[in-house]
Amino acid sequence: MKISIIIPYQKDRGYLSKAIQSAEAALAYAKVEGEIIKSQSDNGVSFNLNRGIEQAKGEFITYLCDDDELPREAIKDTLNGMRGYDFVHGNARCVYEDSFTFNEPRIRGYKPKIKNPTLSQMLEFNQIHGGTVTYRRDIIEGDWFDEDLWTGEEYDFNLFLLSQGKQLGYINKDLYIYRHHSAQKSKQNNNQSERRSAIEQIKDRYR
């Protein structure tokens, strides 16, 4: 059993070393064969993910954004929960940096309301925290993530898999640490209307 952890990024935003260290610690704790693939270019997330997947030797594929981290138990819990499923998702811990002003706590839990969403439920609202997802390598041949997309890449891919009848499992464990900070693509106020429009176009593919 081998798992490949892809870290796609355009530039180091100051968190990359922490991401790598967390992945190394998670692999060591799980006591499984694994590899960490850093996939860097000036192209988009999908491009870098796909280039990483092309290099990957694992039976299972997961990704870790350069500004996020894996909990120590994440890989062990994921592989224990993969049996019988094509892809799985789970819970996350969300860490808010000082650029966000609100009441404590700054670490908040995320648990999906719908654990095994259907395609129609996913179209109504994205029920999956993308960072928590791990895929069996053999569920698809050829291209994985759509390189023409500039946002919602993993949402589109998960919709595609559900539309193809792939089996989604849920693991009731924290599988990801998601960092909220002002430099995130999703936090840029000047592109929110464009993001909403792009997501609607993704949904139109599967309605």
Share of the chain above pLDDT 70, in %: 90
- Residue 99 — pLDDT band, cuts 50, 70, 90? low
**Cα dihedral value 76, 70, 49, 139, nearest 10:** 30
Quick one: which H or E segment has residue 135? strand 134-136
Residue 192 has a pLDDT of: 79
Residue 1 has a pLDDT of: 82
What does the longest C-alpha to C-alpha distance in the chain come to?
46
23-32: average pLDDT: 98
197: which DSSP letter?
Answer: H
Encode pLDDT of 148-166 as tens digits.
999 999 999 999 999 999 9
Residue 102 has pLDDT above 70, yes or no: no
93-105: average pLDDT: 66
Residue 50 has pLDDT above 80, yes or no: yes
**Cα dihedral value 107, 40, 200, 68, nearest 10:** -10
Which residues contact residue 101 at a Cβ distance below 8 angstroms, ignoring those fewer than 6 apart? none
Residue predicted with more confidence, 81 or 97 = 81
Residue 22 has pLDDT above 60, yes or no: yes
Residue predicted with more confidence, 195 or 46 = 46
Q: Select 2-204's CATH number: 1.10.10.10, 3.90.550.10, 2.40.110.10, 3.40.50.300.
A: 3.90.550.10
Encode pLDDT of 135-151 as tens digits.
999 998 778 999 999 99
- Omega of the bond prior to 71 within 30 degrees of 0, cis? no
CA 187/CA 57 separation, integer angstroms: 34
34-72 burial: b if 16+ Cβ within 10 Å, else e = bebbbbbeeebbbbbbbbbbeebebebbbbbbbbbbbbe
Residue 185 has a pLDDT of: 62
> What's the token pair of residue 195?
């993001």
Residue 184 has a pLDDT of: 65
Of 161, 174, 87, 90, the closest CA to residue 122 belongs to: 161
